[in-house]
Amino acid sequence: MGDVGQYFLANIVNMDQTPLSFEYLAGRTYNEKGAKTIWAQSSQSSWDKRQATIRLAVFADGIPRVKPLVFFRRIGIGGTILTERENYNLRVVVKFNPKAYANSSSIVKWLDEQLIPILEARPTLLVLDLFSAHKTEEVLDTFAANDILVSMIPGGCTLSVQPLDVSINCLFKDILRVSDKLTVE
């Protein structure tokens, strides 16, 4: 027996993805209130086209076992991407794809590369939202082949019962919002 029925706390996991966009407000500038210099959008900037998705996983015992994963929008795997990847902290996995969001193949890669190796072949309970990529045949087959029972949280309920949305993502999104410390002019 585990800590909770057949599951050890180390094998009860909540995973969620949070989309981010890095775009300027069209025709506007921004900076901290009281700043002497206001940075303006440049026609040479590519930030208006940048997007990202962050995937986090938390374990019931509170021990971080998998690295946060960040997908940036970019096509290819050229030298620029390899160079950019080196700029990020080694405690974060950085990937690139054309749309900067998770799909079934990226979820299977995450399972194969990060989650499954740390599960020690024990039964696992994975809590997810009803995102369509979580329900594809490829992803469901990977869960089944690795003794991962999935509990999918219905739409409209994640803000109430999904651990990552209730705690970590809520705070994270608050930090990312334009606060009263930033001025839009």
Tell whether 184 is covered by a domain: no
Dihedral pair phi/psi, residue 49, rounded to 5°: -105, -5
Q: Which of 1, 5, 7, 3 shows the shortest CA–CA distance to 119?
A: 7
Look at the chain and report how many structural domains it folds into. Answer: 1
**Residue 33 forms part of a structural domain:** no
**Would residue 124 count as lying in a domain?**
yes
Mean pLDDT of the chain: 78
Residue 3: the pLDDT is 83
Q: Residue 44: pLDDT above 70?
A: no
In a domain, 104, yes or no: yes
29, part of any domain: no
- Specify the residue for token string 């506007």: 28
Q: Indicate whether 138 belongs to any domain.
A: yes
Residue 60 sits in which domain range?
A: 9-19+38-177
The model carries a pTM of 0.75
Model confidence over 115-147: pLDDT tens digits?
999 999 999 999 998 888 999 999 999 999 999
- What CATH code is carried by the domain that includes residue 89? 3.30.420
- The pLDDT-based confidence of 162 (bands split at 50, 70, 90) is confident
